[in-house]
Amino acid sequence: MIKEIKIVMRGEDGHKVTSVRMKDETIERLDVLSAKTNRSRNEIINLLLDSALDIVKIEEA
């Protein structure tokens, strides 16, 4: 007998949906990485953004 079924509401998984405009060539490069690594485009973008945020340096003008 099933005691309960848990359903996680969308948006409560720690992720948010966003939209970004990118050049066609950037999408093509992402798709190549995606195919080579057997990861989704979404996963590749998140991995790259996480890495970039750790190494970004802001210079004052």
Within-domain flag for 32:
yes
Give tens-digit pLDDT for 6-49: 777 766 678 888 999 999 999 999 999 999 999 999 999 999 99
Within-domain flag for 16:
no
Within-domain flag for 47:
yes
- What pLDDT shows up at residue 1? 74
Within-domain flag for 19:
no
- The vertex-28 CA angle with 16 and 43, nearest 5°, equals 30
- What pLDDT shows up at residue 61? 85
For residue 45, the SS3 value is helix
- What pLDDT shows up at residue 11? 62
Instruction: Determine the structural domain holding residue 30 and report its residue range.
Output: 24-55
47 C-beta neighbours (distance < 10 Å), count: 13
CB-based contacts of 41, cutoff 8 Å, min separation 6: 27, 30, 31, 34
Within-domain flag for 14:
no
How far is residue 61's CA from residue 17's CA, in Å, rounded to a whole number? 33
- What pLDDT shows up at residue 49? 95
Within-domain flag for 43:
yes
Instruction: Please tell me the total count of domains within the chain.
Output: 1
Within-domain flag for 35:
yes
